[in-house]
Amino acid sequence: MIDQGSWRKSSYSGSDANCVEVSSTSTTVGVRDTKDREGGHLTIPASAWTAFIHSAGRTS
């Protein structure tokens, strides 16, 4: 379960509202749209999030 008080805005987001927020536990990561906080969130395994972040940082 994602704690509603633990959401944080991406550090790569600018001053506009076009960004995502994340919240994590030891086993899951929640991702939601900052502009639609009540619209729900995507919950994925923490290991999948870590793999995504690592692969997104790679350049070809």
Per-residue H/E/C for the chain? CCCCCCCEECCCCCCCCCCEEEEECCCEEEEEEHHHHHHCCEEEEHHHHHHHHHHHCCCC
pLDDT tens digits, 18-43:
788 889 888 999 999 888 888 889 99
User: When comparing pLDDT for 13 and 27, which is higher?
Assistant: 27
pLDDT at 11 over 90: no
pLDDT at 44 over 90: yes
